[in-house]
């Protein structure tokens, strides 16, 4: 057993997960060595700079439920952490739609005819849904109908992922949409919850000069506390003996290769790349690593000679007529991202795969294409663009295709046998985690090293309270779960019991009223009461008549009460279903918030 003073921890990757791990290690006086292949830290959460204009690679909202993460952000950034309003819209067929989608706005924006077809499609798929939700297409269609899926989800999702929605796994959507509790959603209609649903946030925090501002300061803190962060130092080889990693080989800055030894290794590099660089590695594990896929993107940054273009943080481009997928307006993230207040900086994101036609297009051609598409969409004139540049981001998004789960299972089982190694972060776990989720994996990995804990990093999704929604054959049917939740929130009225109560109450009422008239002997009241015989056959103000009246009233009360209970249950269920559908539609905003 290595003592704490003898530990030397090597961290591969200087993104949010790796730097968080290194920061925590430095605070425990374990001087970490960080190896980062790029010329700056932050990974996909870095901030690029072009002529004083700052560009965020993906648009990173800072919002978390994890107090440790929030505390770290505040500790590092202080007053440079800004609170920003969120506004985003969808561009489709020449029109802008609110996002998250608002049903009325969407239906009227699409036109009456299309709205009717959407409603009919929705009804159809509520009656005849897919029995198993295996793909993303199944998942969305079951909730909103095939037509709305094809209009608002299919084109954009396939533009992002480069594969048909019929191949994208349903669990990707389930993972992106968290906190979807039917009970809490229904209760929130009447009582404001203490904790906001993560996916419905209307405000978020943001570093004054983009996310790279945070990670540059974290790097400085690590180095101040005795750690080392080596840039331009990609890991080229990883050597193991049995169940232990011995050392890694890094190259950098033309100085040849350097062997970096350690007692513990933490990696946030793509897990497929780790396996490929590991020696030795079993053939089945290497084969599984080769099958894992990633989606890349590039961002064309344009400087526009206009002080204001549109109020959104970003706009989703669902139109198939242009190849751009999303447009960021960095001035609306932070005014300090733009050095000249008379200008606006935009980031046009093109989702692609490394080596394809978009990725390989020369920068000047990409800038020209972005200028034309910006004008085609109607956001600015091409002549207003005064400058531009391009940044490429490889392996930005792990792909949830049809084979990823089986491949990941093989890799996970193999890595579990390495006793001094942990993989963390989005690409290290091949899981579409957000920035705060990745930071949590780094924090827990350090606790495993320092305190000997056994935190399962593969189980981390967003924070310790989040639970991933898994679709399987054993999963409780959605309709049953929904009905059970409605019953817990709004107790169901039993039609038989309610009918019996109404019938008995009515019968007792007739008996007491008739008894009063028989004892009182008031003929006027008796004559009026006799009119009830028109509704209660056989009733009269007599001992025989009251018995028949009580029987009639019981039957009438039972029928009325049971019908009232049934209708009340139906109205509650239908109303709750509408509320739930609206909330779930809003939660779908997570599906488009790629960062």
DSSP per-residue codes, 124-181: HHHHS--SS--BHHHHHHHHH-HHHHIIIIIHHHHHHHSS-TTTSBHHHHHHHS----
Long-range CB contacts for residues 121-125, cutoff 8 Å, separation at least 24 = 121/145, 121/146, 121/147, 121/148, 122/147, 122/148
CB 368 within 8 A of CB 316: no
Torsion 287-289-295-296 (CA) sign: negative
Alpha carbon 421 to its chain's center: 29
Q: Which CATH class is domain 4-46+59-80+205-291+402-459?
A: alpha beta
**Residues 488-520: tens digit of each pLDDT:** 555 666 777 777 777 788 788 777 777 777 676
Please enumerate in sequence order all residues whose Cβ is within 8 A of that of 283, keeping only pairs 6 or more positions apart, or say none. Answer: none
State the Cα–Cα distance between residues 438 and 72, nearest whole angstrom: 13
Top mean pLDDT of 159-168, 263-272, 570-579 is at 263-272
Q: Are 292 and 430 within 8 A, CB to CB?
A: yes
Q: Helix crossing, 283-291 with 404-415: angle to 10°? A: 140
Quote the tokens at residue 193. 């919850």
Structure tokens at 245: 């990693």
Place of tokens 């906190």: 179
Q: State mean pLDDT over 149-170.
A: 86
Q: Which of 248-262, 533-547, 578-592 has the lowest mean pLDDT?
A: 578-592
- Does the pLDDT of residue 273 top 80, yes or no? yes
Give the pLDDT band of residue 183 (cuts 50, 70, 90).
very low
For residue 323, count other CB atoms closer than 10 A to its CB. Answer: 17
Mean pLDDT of 383-387: 96
Question: Of residues 348 and 525, which shows the higher confidence score?
Answer: 348
Closest CA to 572 of 189, 178, 197: 189
Residue that the structure tokens 């008894």 belong to: 515
- pLDDT value at position 511? 78
CB 317 within 8 A of CB 360: no
The confidence score (pLDDT) of residue 349 equals: 96
Strand 314-317 with 326-329, pairing: antiparallel
pLDDT value at residue 181: 35
pLDDT for 343: 97
pLDDT in tens, 536-552: 777 676 767 777 777 77
Q: Hey, what are 252's tokens?
A: 């950098």
Average pLDDT score over residue span 141-149: 85
What's domain 294-398's architecture? Alpha-Beta Complex (3.90)
pLDDT recorded at residue 174: 65
Give the residue with greater pLDDT, 59 vs 476. Answer: 59
Domains of the chain by residue range? 4-46+59-80+205-291+402-459, 179-200+477-595, 294-398
Per-residue CA distances from 507 to 501, 525, 582 (Å): 10, 19, 44
Task: Output the six-digit token pair for 402.
Answer: 């049809």
Mean pLDDT, rounded, for 514-532: 65
pLDDT tens, residue by residue, 413-428 = 999 999 999 999 999 9
CB atoms within 10 A of CB 372: 12
Determine which of 44-48, 97-101, 132-136, 383-387 has the lowest per-residue pLDDT on average: 97-101
Rounded Cα distance, 504 and 558, in Å: 8
* d(C-alpha 204, C-alpha 595), whole Å: 14
Reported as a single tens digit per residue, the pLDDT across 60-109 is 889 888 899 999 999 999 999 999 888 888 888 888 887 766 667 777 78
> How far is it, in rounded angstroms, from Cα 377 to Cα 91?
8
Mean pLDDT of 27-46: 95
Q: How far apart are CA 9 and CA 442, in angstroms?
A: 13
CA–CA gap between residue 371 and residue 386 (Å, rounded): 10
Give the per-residue pLDDT at 515.
74
Per-state percent for the chain, helix, strand, coil, to nearest 5: 50, 20, 30
What is the residue-averaged pLDDT of the chain? 83
What Rg do the C-alpha atoms of the chain give, in angstroms?
A: 31
Higher pLDDT, 565 or 245: 245
Name the more confident of 417 and 319: 417
Q: What are phi and psi of 297, to 5 degrees?
A: -155, 160
117-121, 299-303, 480-484: range with highest mean pLDDT:
299-303
**Residue 208 neighbours by CB distance under 10 Å:** 16
Average pLDDT (346-353) is 96
Instruction: Answer whether residue 197 shows pLDDT above 50.
Output: no
The first and second tokens of residue 128, run together, are: 């005849």
Asked if the domains at 4-46+59-80+205-291+402-459 and 294-398 fall in one CATH topology, the answer is: no
**Nearest CA to 142 among 152, 132, 157, 156?**
132
Averaged pLDDT, 400-416: 93
Q: Does pLDDT of 46 surpass 90?
A: yes
Let me know: does 379 contact 327? Beta carbons within 8 Å: yes
Identify the H or E element spanning 437. Answer: helix 435-451
Higher pLDDT, 253 or 135: 135
Checking DSSP bridges between strand 235-241 and strand 278-279, what pairing results, if any? parallel
- What is the DSSP secondary-structure string of 482-549? HHHHHHHHSPPPPHHHHHHHHHHHHHHHHHHHHHHHHHH--HHHHHHHHGGGGTSTT--SSHHHHHHH
Q: Among 37-46, 201-210, 479-488, name the one with the lowest average pLDDT.
A: 479-488
Q: Is the pLDDT of residue 290 over 60?
A: yes
pTM of the model: 0.76
């Amino acid at each position: 057993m290595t003592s704490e003073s003898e530990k030397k921890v090597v961290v591969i990757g200087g993104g949010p997960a790796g730097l968080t791990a290194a920061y925590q290690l430095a605070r425990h006086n374990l001087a970490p060595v960080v190896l980062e292949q790029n010329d700056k830290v932050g990974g996909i959460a870095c901030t690029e700079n072009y002529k004083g204009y700052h560009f965020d690679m993906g648009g990173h909202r800072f919002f978390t439920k994890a107090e440790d993460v929030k505390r770290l952000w505040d500790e590092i950034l202080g007053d440079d952490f800004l609170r920003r309003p969120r506004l985003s819209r969808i561009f489709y067929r020449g029109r802008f739609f609110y996002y998250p989608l608002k049903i009325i706005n969407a239906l009227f924006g699409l036109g009456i005819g299309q709205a009717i077809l959407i409603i009919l499609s929705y009804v159809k798929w509520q009656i005849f849904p897919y029995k198993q939700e295996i793909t993303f297409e199944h998942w969305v269609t079951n909730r909103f109908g095939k037509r709305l899926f094809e209009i608002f989800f299919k084109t954009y999702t396939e533009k992002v992922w480069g594969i048909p929605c019929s191949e994208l796994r349903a669990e990707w959507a389930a993972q992106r949409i968290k906190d979807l509790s039917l009970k809490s959603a229904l209760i929130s209609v009447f009582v404001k919850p203490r904790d906001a649903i993560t996916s419905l946030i209307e405000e978020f925090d943001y570093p004054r000069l983009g996310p790279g501002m945070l990670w540059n300061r974290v790097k400085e803190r690590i180095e101040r506390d005795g750690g080392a962060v080596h840039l331009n130092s990609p890991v080229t080889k990883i050597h193991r003996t049995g169940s232990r990693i011995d050392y890694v080989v890094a190259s950098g800055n033309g100085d040849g290769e350097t062997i970096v030894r350690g007692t513990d290794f933490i990696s946030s590099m793509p897990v497929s790349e780790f396996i490929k660089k590991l020696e030795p590695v079993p053939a089945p594990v290497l084969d599984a690593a080769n099958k894992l896929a990633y989606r890349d993107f590039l961002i064309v940054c344009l400087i526009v000679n206009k002080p204001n273009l549109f109020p959104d943080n970003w706009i989703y481009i669902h139109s198939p007529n242009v190849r751009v997928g999303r447009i960021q307006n960095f001035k609306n993230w932070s005014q300090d991202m733009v050095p000249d207040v008379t200008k606006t900086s935009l980031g046009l994101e093109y989702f692609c795969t490394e080596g394809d036609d978009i990725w390989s297009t020369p920068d000047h051609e990409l800038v020209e294409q972005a200028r034309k598409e910006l004008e085609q969409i109607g956001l600015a004139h091409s002549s207003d663009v005064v400058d531009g540049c391009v940044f490429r981001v490889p392996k930005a998004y792990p792909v949830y295709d049809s084979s990823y789960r089986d491949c990941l299972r093989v890799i996970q089982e193999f890595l579990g046998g390495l006793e001094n190694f942990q993989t963390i972060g989005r690409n290290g776990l091949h899981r579409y985690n957000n920035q705060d989720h990745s930071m949590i994996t780094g924090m827990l990995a350090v606790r495993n090293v320092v305190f000997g804990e056994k935190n399962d990093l593969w189980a981390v999704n967003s924070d310790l309270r989040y639970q991933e929604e898994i679709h399987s054959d054993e999963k409780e049917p959605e309709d049953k779960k929904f009905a059970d939740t409605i019953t817990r929130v709004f107790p169901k009225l039993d039609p038989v019991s309610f009918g019996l109560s109404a019938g008995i109450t009515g019968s007792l009422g007739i008996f007491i009223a008739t008894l009063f008239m028989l004892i009182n002997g008031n003929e006027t009241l008796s004559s009026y009461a006799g009119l009830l015989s028109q509704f209660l056959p056989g009733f009269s103000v007599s001992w025989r008549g009251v018995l028949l009246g009580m029987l009639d009233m019981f039957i009438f009360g039972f029928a009325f009460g049971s019908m009232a209970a049934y209708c009340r249950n139906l109205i509650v269920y239908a109303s709750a279903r509408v509320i739930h559908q609206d909330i779930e539609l809003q939660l779908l905003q997570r599906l488009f918030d790629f960062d």
